[in-house]
């Protein structure tokens, strides 16, 4: 009898050998092809619809890939790297995918020639090390204190984005917000720039993009609690609380047994007294403005309004922290512990404005704000979302340059220069490794090539011209003008990219290629480590 011996669960599917390697290469290329048209100043947006019917319009690599569901495990890995790129440096999410896809397809020919993947990987690793050195050599230092210089850099980051039309405005906004939240740490001498926490982007549909601005302070989506309170205060004294101004029950379970009817009255009175005491604590310090993260009871509102204090309740913790940094106050957690130092006096103006249907609180004209709100206006929510993503990228670029003030010429110039130098070096190498090494150099040209493609110029002619230019010394900064498709000196065109972004792109792309090339076996439908057997979901099919 020749009954087959079943070793693995029949649900699992296994593929191995060359098929897997080529499959991985294909998956990587497919992902890269999806967002190829999103690179460069002539890039197009993509409109994505999620299963719920929501729409995302973007040309941000990470935002596009985040929405796509793929089956192939290697493709999943590709998508993840654009997230890595986004979290680490915030920009270059499209380039990293395109480059990683190109690195994989460069390896394809060697796999077909039966070269061992470990040899290719060793060559890639060597190439990565050399690339990092070359990039650092090619980079130039920049003076971050000069507004003009910073503008140029941020502008080239914005150049590829939707807000390109409003580039000047966006540049100013990005630079202003980043320099606002930058703190020089005296003890460590380290620059700390926390965009995530202290530079908040608020989107208010309506108006035009030109109305967007970086506030010298903070804006909240809140209104005063009591109509009788003042809605415009100049030079307010601001008190920040994170406790509630109402009667609170204790944590422990307490039951009340009342024997006399007067006791009931007494309890009510106590509650009232509590509120009164709390508000009196506040009133003692004569603030003009009270923010609390918790609630304010009607009674407390009345007391505060009577003392001519404006109160705003249920402020988010992050907003409260931002106000604290903008006006120089401290968040207090108990009213009987307020001190004079806790009151923030740095703000110049408090007012409530109405945009569309909603009221917004503005705390502006701060003397030395260390936090800010970026107010975006625009035609629709979808557009605002895209503008926000663009602005985030621009701010990340500004931050990266402030932390590491080294720049590289953009527009594919640096790729051409590195490729040229690596090709030179590969000539002096011995052994089979020189071929994958040279292939890496050639694949770097995918960036200028895609730029040319996207603006509709003749790819081959321009690339050859550019290559010829780079062959002679002193032309390292020549690249592609993404608008016209001509070759141009990037120094004159003022297209720059931060070194840290470029380095991260190369590192992530190469290491992902190295990871994927090492794989020679895919088993799908394997169980989870905890051993959840029997769920027998159909094995995901490879593309």
Q: Which of residues 225-264 bind another protein (CB under 8 A)?
A: 242-243, 248-257, 263
Q: Which is nearer to another protein, 55 or 264 (CB)?
A: 264
| Residue reference for tokens 């120089």 | 328
The reply to whether 203 sits near another protein by the rule CB under 8 A is: no
Q: At CA 206, angle to CA 201 and CA 207, rounded to 5?
A: 95
The reply to whether 525 sits near another protein by the rule CB under 8 A is: yes
Q: Which is nearer to another protein, 433 or 476 (CB)?
A: 433
- The SS3 call for residue 288 is coil
Q: CB 90 → another protein: shortest distance, Å?
A: 9
d(CA 469, CA 476): 8
Binders of another protein in range 114-143 (CB under 8 A): 114, 116-119, 121-122, 125, 128
Which is nearest to 514 in space by CA: 74, 87, 71?
74
Burial class (CB in 10 A: 0-12, 13-18, 19+), 22: middle
Q: Out of 26, 43, 59, 77, which residue is the one contacting another protein (CB under 8 A)?
A: 77
Binders of another protein in range 466-495 (CB under 8 A): none
Q: Which is nearer to another protein, 252 or 472 (CB)?
A: 252
- The SS3 call for residue 7 is coil
Q: Which is nearer to another protein, 114 or 427 (CB)?
A: 114
The reply to whether 55 sits near another protein by the rule CB under 8 A is: no
d(CA 74, CA 310): 57
Binders of another protein in range 259-318 (CB under 8 A): 263, 266-267, 270, 274, 293, 317
Tell me, by CB under 8 A, how many residues bind another protein: 92
Could you count the other beta carbons within 10 Å of the beta carbon of residue 9?
13
Q: Which is nearer to another protein, 214 or 514 (CB)?
A: 514
Q: CB 375 → another protein: shortest distance, Å?
A: 22
Is residue 483 within 8 A of residue 94, CB to CB? The reply is no
The reply to whether 332 sits near another protein by the rule CB under 8 A is: yes
Residue 439 tokens read as 């292939």
d(CA 407, CA 409): 7
Give one word for 368, left, alpha or beta, with left for phi > 0 and alpha for psi -120 to 50. beta
The residues annotated as belonging to the active site are: 60, 93-94, 393
Q: Out of 74, 97, 98, 239, which residue is the one contacting another protein (CB under 8 A)?
A: 74
Is residue 109 within 8 A of residue 435, CB to CB? The reply is no
Q: Which is nearer to another protein, 219 or 323 (CB)?
A: 323
Q: CB 66 → another protein: shortest distance, Å?
A: 14
Q: CB 2 → another protein: shortest distance, Å?
A: 11
Q: CB 291 → another protein: shortest distance, Å?
A: 14
- The stretch near another protein (CB under 8 A) out of 83-91, 174-182, 297-305, 374-382 is 83-91
How far is Cα of residue 439 from the mean position of the Cα atoms in its chain? Answer: 32
Which is nearest to 365 in space by CA: 235, 464, 245?
235
Q: Which is nearer to another protein, 76 or 152 (CB)?
A: 76
Q: Where are the beta strands (DSSP E) in 67-180?
A: 140-141
User: How would you label 143-157 residue by residue, b for 16+ Cβ within 10 Å and e otherwise?
Assistant: ebeeeebbbbbbbbb
Q: Out of 87, 358, 368, 492, which residue is the one contacting another protein (CB under 8 A)?
A: 87
- The stretch near another protein (CB under 8 A) out of 42-50, 56-64, 188-196, 474-482 is 188-196
Is residue 319 within 8 A of residue 292, CB to CB? The reply is no
Q: Out of 56, 65, 81, 480, which residue is the one contacting another protein (CB under 8 A)?
A: 81
The reply to whether 520 sits near another protein by the rule CB under 8 A is: yes
- The stretch near another protein (CB under 8 A) out of 34-42, 218-226, 323-331, 405-413 is 323-331
Is residue 25 within 8 A of residue 107, CB to CB? The reply is yes
The reply to whether 330 sits near another protein by the rule CB under 8 A is: yes
The reply to whether 76 sits near another protein by the rule CB under 8 A is: yes
Q: Which is nearer to another protein, 126 or 449 (CB)?
A: 126
| Residue reference for tokens 């190498």 | 429
Q: CB 274 → another protein: shortest distance, Å?
A: 7
Element (H, E) at 13: strand 13-16
Q: CB 45 → another protein: shortest distance, Å?
A: 25
- The stretch near another protein (CB under 8 A) out of 77-85, 208-216, 420-428, 488-496 is 77-85
Q: CB 260 → another protein: shortest distance, Å?
A: 10
The reply to whether 188 sits near another protein by the rule CB under 8 A is: yes
The reply to whether 88 sits near another protein by the rule CB under 8 A is: yes
Q: Which is nearer to another protein, 15 or 50 (CB)?
A: 15
Q: CB 270 → another protein: shortest distance, Å?
A: 6
Burial class (CB in 10 A: 0-12, 13-18, 19+), 341: exposed
Q: Which is nearer to another protein, 153 or 514 (CB)?
A: 514
Q: CB 48 → another protein: shortest distance, Å?
A: 20
- The stretch near another protein (CB under 8 A) out of 38-46, 211-219, 327-335, 463-471 is 327-335
Which is nearest to 113 in space by CA: 535, 432, 469?
432
Binders of another protein in range 24-53 (CB under 8 A): none
* Strand partners for 52: none
Which is nearest to 312 in space by CA: 364, 278, 363?
363
Residue 527 CB partners (closer than 8 Å, separation 6+): 9, 533
Element (H, E) at 425: helix 413-426
Is residue 56 within 8 A of residue 45, CB to CB? The reply is no
Binders of another protein in range 498-517 (CB under 8 A): 504, 507-512, 514-515
Residue 391 tokens read as 């602005």
Which is nearest to 120 in space by CA: 434, 489, 488?
434
The reply to whether 80 sits near another protein by the rule CB under 8 A is: yes
């Amino acid at each position: 009898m020749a009954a087959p011996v079943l070793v693995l669960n029949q649900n699992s599917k296994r593929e191995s050998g060359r098929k897997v390697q080529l499959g991985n290469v294909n998956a990587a290329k497919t992902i890269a092809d999806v967002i190829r048209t999103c690179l460069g100043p002539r890039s197009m947006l993509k409109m994505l619809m999620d299963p719920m019917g929501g729409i995302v319009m973007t040309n941000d690599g990470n935002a596009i890939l985040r929405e796509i569901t793929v089956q192939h495990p290697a493709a999943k890995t590709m998508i993840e790297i654009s997230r890595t790129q986004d979290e680490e440096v915030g920009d270059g999410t499209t380039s990293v995918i395109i480059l990683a896809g190109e690195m994989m397809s460069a390896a394809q020919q060697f796999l077909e020639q039966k070269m061992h993947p470990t040899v290719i990987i060793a060559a890639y690793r060597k190439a990565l090390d050399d690339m990092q050195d070359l990039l650092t050599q090619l980079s130039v230092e920049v003076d971050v204190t000069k507004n003009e210089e910073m503008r140029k850099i941020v502008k080239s980051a914005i150049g590829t984005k939707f807000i390109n039309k409003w580039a000047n405005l966006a540049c100013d906004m990005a630079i202003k917000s980043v320099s606002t939240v930058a703190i020089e740490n005296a003890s460590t001498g380290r620059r700390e720039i926390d965009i995530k926490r202290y530079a908040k982007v608020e989107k208010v549909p309506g108006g035009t993009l030109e109305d967007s601005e970086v506030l010298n302070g903070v804006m909240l989506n809140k209104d005063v609690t009591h109509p009788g309170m003042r809605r415009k205060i100049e030079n307010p004294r601001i008190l920040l609380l994170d406790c509630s101004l109402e009667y609170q029950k204790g944590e422990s379970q307490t039951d009340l047994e009342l024997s006399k009817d007067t006791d009931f009255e007494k309890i009510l009175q106590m509650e009232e007294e509590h509120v009164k005491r709390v508000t009196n604590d506040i009133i003692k310090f004569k603030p003009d403005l009270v923010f609390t993260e918790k609630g304010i009871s009607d009674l407390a509102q009345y007391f505060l309004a009577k003392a001519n204090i404006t109160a705003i309740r249920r402020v988010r913790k992050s907003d409260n922290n931002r106000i604290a940094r903008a006006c120089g106050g401290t968040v207090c957690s108990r009213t009987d512990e307020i001190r004079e130092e806790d009151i923030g006096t740095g703000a110049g103006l408090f007012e409530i404005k109405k945009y569309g249907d909603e009221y917004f609180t503005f705390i502006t004209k701060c003397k030395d704000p260390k936090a800010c709100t970026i107010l975006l206006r625009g035609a629709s929510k979808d557009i605002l979302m895209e503008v926000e993503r663009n602005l985030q990228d621009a701010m990340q670029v500004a931050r990266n340059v402030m932390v590491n003030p080294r720049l590289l010429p953009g527009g594919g110039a640096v790729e051409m220069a590195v490729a040229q130098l690596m090709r030179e070096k590969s000539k002096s190498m011995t052994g089979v490794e020189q071929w994958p090494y040279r292939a890496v150099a050639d694949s770097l040209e995918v960036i200028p090539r895609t730029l040319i493609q996207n603006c509709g110029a003749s790819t081959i002619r321009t690339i050859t011209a550019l290559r010829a230019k780079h062959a002679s010394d002193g032309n390292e900064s020549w690249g592609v003008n993404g608008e016209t498709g001509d070759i141009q000196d990037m120094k004159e065109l003022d297209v720059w990219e931060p070194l840290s972004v470029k380095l991260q792109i190369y590192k992530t792309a190469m290491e992902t290629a190295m990871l994927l090339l090492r794989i020679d076996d895919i088993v799908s439908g394997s169980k989870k480590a905890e051993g959840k057997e029997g769920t027998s979901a159909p094995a995901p099919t490879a593309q």
